[in-house]
């Protein structure tokens, strides 16, 4: 009997089976693809975080500890690849007599490094000019002393006479912040900036020149062991962080207090683990709703034949089949649908991985990919059981044979409608959203030094309840409109059906459940497509804004310390091929009270044309309005939020800052008036800084020196233009371009490339919209062929029947598109607000991908039109033939 039943399903219901399996396959494909991509993204975040670290561990020997013993302990620790000793010596300053003038600096640091240090840790030192070995002077120190390779400088030693050395080369220290950290000190106790004056000596030369200082001032000399690890790390940043922290604690415990680990690797992974939590959240936001929607589509496809299925089950029961045997046949159908859909979904996911990411595993590894494919396949079987088997069992247990044979059921409002569940969901959604988007709320918490992170998943109840509540409310409204709006329906459908208008309206009202289901499914599909596309477009927009904010412009030229360049220096840069515009940017330091902060002088009329300035960067007005204030009142100043709170400022307050006067070299007081708050600004740090009118600052200080030039290339050829600028300027300035910065923001979630996955998701959303509109409508109309046949027997003409079908299609289209647009509008705004932590900086407005949305609309309407026309064509078959088959 099972074989006979299965053969009948394949022969008579093949298209319906395939349609149901396709719905299951969409769910399986989406879960498998996004799950594998999530795992690969976490591995990418870990790899990028590790790649940014030049020295994994800086193990500092504590007072009384033996450097040789600590070095041996580090080298014997599990997972250590290389370990070298580095000595730090404090100096009272440097001095150089060059070209008849003597230059001196303040206190600095002398480092003693082994000869193979630079080869072992290549990211720690960058050669600028001269030899790569011997006495190496840091770039800023060379600028302060006006020294170059071949010049002689004197090193001041605490308690001892100075010694002279000859400079062999000039270098840069890209990782100076971590290199000169206070090992073991909490973040708030770390130095605000690395030392300005640094000299590197070979280890034997350091022992000769700085070694005697230890006898006079033991605190002036300290030893660190720099180490890199090769131990395999877990793919997830949080797990990798836990592993690295545990290894560092193990070494400290083994050294019995003689060593403290400065864990640079853990610090990098600490930033990446919160981003990984956001990636997990994205899986919930972008994957789960799509899978649920595909399951609903599957349920709708399966449910469109519910009346037929009940009649078939009733016939089997009349012929002596027990409930258990009928359930077995339904289980066979569900199993067939689940297996076909699961295999189809896994195949599609593998194709997506190969096409979009170059690997069927999405780069996540075979094991992780197979796990996600297995989970997705299991979910497909569950969906098939819920959409095919469960309704059959419910019908068997809840209805009699007579009720199952009934052609038209009595419509009754469902329980949720009587309880007002839609209104409850919407009210709770707004309450949750208000709480989760309030001030000082963080979706992801990663406490400093704590291996575990916490994600406030309850915040997603807001968008989830909005989606559910919006769908239920649309169901209520559409049902009420069809049930009590026969008069309006009659008027609306009369142009299509003529004399059958009243009958058409009555038919739509009487059998409104399939129509309402199609309307709601189409609306959910449209809302999913719009919200997903809007989120992804905003994601890409803010990824670019993050890079623009970090670098400042397409290409940024930062003058080296000691180099004085005025605004006119930008003329030479503007002449380089590919450069569209050059914007000078002052960078100074200013005292507000006793607090030293970064200070930026801008040209208010032109700065916005060379870099990205969003309204979200400012408080108290738009970007354009606040820049106009700086232009109209030159003594206006924009202040960071932290400074406003610390000094309790109000708009218009007088602020007296101390800026260095170029004529006297001392600090002079300059008056400004507080005009607004600036939270973010190109090239500026993320904490406290000021933005003011450059012309006013130059006049007040007698100095128009420029710190950076923002080079606009029109978004094209950034790397080529940057190379040309480097060739022209040499080592006198640091040149960075946007392509470099995009790769360097590896600890930020917005650096993860969602392009391939986005294309799949958006294509998926289009398929869902087409299926929800056209397929469900067509299958529902196909189940009503008996109604059309009877209407034909009673004298309905072909044009009138076609109008009846098109009337229902038009109702589904209008209701679904309007409802979907409203739900999508609320859902998109809520998602972006709740997920503010994903975006750095947060967006001022959402990016709306109108071309994609237009394409989605066209595809959905076309699918509905095709389904309706196909059904209309089927309705014109001879009535006797239709009644015989039915």
Q: How far apart are the C-alpha atoms of 133 and 139, rounded to whole Å?
A: 15
CB 148 within 8 A of CB 137: no
276-290, pLDDT tens digit by residue? Answer: 777 677 666 767 787
Mean pLDDT of the residues in the chain = 81
Q: Is the pLDDT of residue 589 over 60?
A: yes
Element (H, E) at 598: strand 595-602
What's the rounded Cα separation, in Å, for the pair 382 and 389?
10
In the prediction, which pLDDT does 746 show? 41
CB 31 within 8 A of CB 258: no
- For the stretch 254-305, pLDDT in tens is 888 899 999 999 988 887 887 777 767 766 676 778 778 878 877 777 766 6
Determine contact, residues 259/65, Cβ cutoff 8 Å.
yes
Q: Helices marked H in 79-236 — which ranges?
A: 117-120, 139-145, 176-179, 203-209, 213-216
What average pLDDT does range 716-730 have in this prediction?
Answer: 86
pLDDT class for 121, splitting at 50, 70, 90?
Answer: very high
Give mean pLDDT, residues 208-229: 93
Tell me: the pLDDT tens digits for 30-73? 888 888 877 877 887 888 888 889 999 999 999 889 999 999 99
Residue 111 backbone phi and psi in degrees, to 5: -110, 140
Name the least confident of 203-212, 414-423, 744-753, 840-849. 744-753
Query: Where residue 406 falls among pLDDT bands split at 50, 70, 90?
Result: low
The set of residues, in sequence order, having a beta carbon less than 8 Å from that of 556 and lying 6+ positions away, is 683, 708, 709, 710, 711, 735, 736, 737
For residue 9, pLDDT over 60 is answered with yes
Share of the chain above pLDDT 70, in %: 81
- Show Cβ contacts of residue 572 under 8 Å, excluding neighbours closer than 6 positions: 728
pTM here is: 0.70
The Cβ-side half-sphere exposure at 732, using a 13 Å CA radius, reads: 11
**How much is the pLDDT for 645?**
83
Whether 833 shows a pLDDT value over 90: the answer reads no
Give the tens place of pLDDT for each residue, 559-579: 766 677 888 888 888 899 999
Residue in this structure with the two tokens 């298209």, named with its chain if needed: 15
- pLDDT of 637: 93
Can you say whether the dihedral through the CA atoms of 638, 639, 640, 645 is positive or negative? negative
């Amino acid at each position: 009997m099972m074989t006979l039943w299965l053969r009948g399903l394949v022969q008579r219901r093949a298209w319906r089976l395939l349609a149901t399996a396709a719905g299951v396959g969409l769910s399986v494909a989406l879960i498998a693809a996004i799950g594998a991509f999530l795992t690969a993204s976490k591995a990418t975040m870990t790899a990028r975080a590790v790649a940014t670290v030049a020295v994994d561990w800086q193990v500092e020997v504590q007072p009384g500890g033996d450097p040789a013993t600590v070095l041996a302990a580090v080298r014997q620790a599990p997972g250590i690849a290389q370990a070298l000793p580095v000595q730090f010596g404090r100096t009272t300053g440097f001095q150089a007599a060059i070209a008849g003038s003597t230059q001196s600096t303040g206190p600095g640091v002398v480092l003693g490094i082994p000869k193979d240090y630079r080869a072992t840790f290549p990211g720690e030192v960058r050669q600028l000019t001269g030899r790569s070995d011997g006495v190496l002077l840091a770039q800023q120190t060379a600028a302060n002393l006006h020294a170059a390779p071949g010049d002689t400088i004197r090193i001041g030693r605490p308690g001892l006479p100075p010694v002279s050395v000859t400079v062999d080369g000039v270098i840069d220290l890209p990782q100076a912040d971590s290199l000169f950290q206070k090992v073991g000190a909490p973040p708030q106790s770390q130095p605000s900036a690395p030392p300005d004056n640094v000299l590197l000596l070979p280890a034997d030369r350091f022992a000769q020149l700085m070694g005697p200082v230890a006898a006079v001032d033991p605190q002036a000399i300290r030893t660190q062991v720099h180490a890199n690890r090769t131990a395999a790390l877990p793919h997830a940043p949080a797990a990798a962080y836990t592993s690295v922290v545990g290894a560092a604690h193990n070494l400290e415990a083994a050294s019995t207090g003689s060593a403290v680990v400065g864990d640079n690797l853990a610090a990098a992974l600490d930033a990446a683990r919160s981003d990984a939590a956001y990636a997990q959240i994205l899986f919930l936001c972008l994957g789960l709703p799509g899978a649920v929607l595909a399951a609903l589509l599957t349920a709708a496809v399966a449910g469109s034949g519910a009346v037929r299925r009940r009649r078939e089950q009733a016939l089997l029961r009349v012929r002596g089949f027990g409930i258990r045997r009928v359930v077995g046949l339904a289980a066979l159908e569900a199993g067939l649908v689940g297996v076909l859909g699961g295999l189809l979904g896994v195949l599609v996911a593998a194709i997506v991985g190969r096409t979009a990411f170059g690997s069927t595993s999405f780069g996540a590894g075979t094991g992780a990919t197979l796990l996600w494919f297995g989970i997705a396949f299991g979910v497909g079987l569950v969906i098939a059981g819920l959409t095919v088997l469960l309704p059959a069992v419910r019908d068997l247990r809840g209805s009699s044979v007579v009720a199952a044979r009934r052609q038209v059921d009595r419509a009754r409002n469902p329980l949720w409608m009587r309880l007002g569940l839609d209104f409850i969901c919407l009210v709770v959604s707004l309450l949750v959203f208000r709480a989760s988007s309030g001030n000082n709320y963080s979706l992801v918490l990663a406490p400093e030094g704590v291996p575990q992170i916490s994600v406030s998943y309850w915040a997603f109840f807001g968008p989830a309840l909005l989606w559910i509540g919006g769908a239920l409310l649309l169901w209520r409204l559409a049902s009420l409109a069809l049930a009590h709006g026969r008069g309006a329906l009659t008027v609306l459908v009369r142009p299509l059906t003529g004399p059958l208008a009243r009958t058409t309206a009555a038919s739509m009202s009487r059998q409104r459940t399939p129509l309402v289901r199609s309307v709601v499914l189409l609306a959910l599909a449209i809302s999913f497509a719009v919200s997903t596309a809007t989120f992804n477009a905003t994601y890409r927009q803010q990824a670019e804004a993050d890079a623009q904010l970090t670098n400042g412009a397409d290409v940024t030229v930062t003058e080296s310390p000691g180099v004085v360049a005025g605004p006119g220096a930008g003329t030479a840069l503007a002449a380089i091929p590919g450069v569209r515009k050059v914007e000078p940017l002052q960078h100074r330091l200013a005292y507000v009270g006793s607090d030293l902060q970064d200070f930026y002088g801008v040209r208010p009329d032109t700065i916005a044309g060379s870099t990205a300035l969003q309204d979200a960067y400012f408080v108290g007005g738009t970007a354009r309005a606040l820049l106009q204030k700086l232009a109209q009142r030159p003594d206006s100043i924009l202040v960071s939020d932290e400074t406003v709170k610390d000094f309790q400022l109000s708009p218009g307050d007088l602020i007296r800052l101390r800026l260095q006067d170029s004529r006297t070299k001392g600090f002079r007081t300059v008056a400004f008036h507080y005009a607004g708050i600036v939270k973010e600004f190109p090239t500026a740090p993320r904490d406290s800084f000021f933005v003011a009118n450059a012309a006013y600052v130059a006049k007040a200080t007698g100095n128009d020196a420029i710190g950076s030039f923002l080079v606009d290339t029109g978004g094209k050829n950034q790397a080529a233009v940057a190379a040309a600028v480097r060739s022209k300027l040499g080592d006198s300035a640091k040149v960075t371009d946007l392509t470099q910065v995009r790769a360097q923001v590896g600890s930020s979630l917005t650096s993860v490339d969602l392009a391939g996955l986005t294309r799949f998701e958006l294509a998926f959303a289009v398929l869902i919209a087409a299926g929800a509109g056209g397929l469900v409508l067509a299958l529902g109309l196909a189940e009503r062929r008996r109604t059309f046949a009877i209407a034909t027997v009673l004298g309905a003409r072909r044009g009138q029947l076609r109008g009846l079908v098109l009337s229902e299609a038009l109702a589904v289209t209008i209701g679904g598109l309007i409802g979907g647009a409203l739900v999508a509008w609320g859902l998109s705004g809520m998602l972006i607000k709740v997920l503010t932590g994903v975006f750095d900086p947060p967006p001022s407005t959402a990016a709306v991908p109108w071309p994609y949305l237009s394409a989605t609309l066209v595809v959905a309407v076309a699918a509905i039109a095709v389904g309706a026309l196909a059904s209309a064509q089927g309705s014109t078959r001879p009535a006797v033939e239709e009644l015989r088959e039915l």
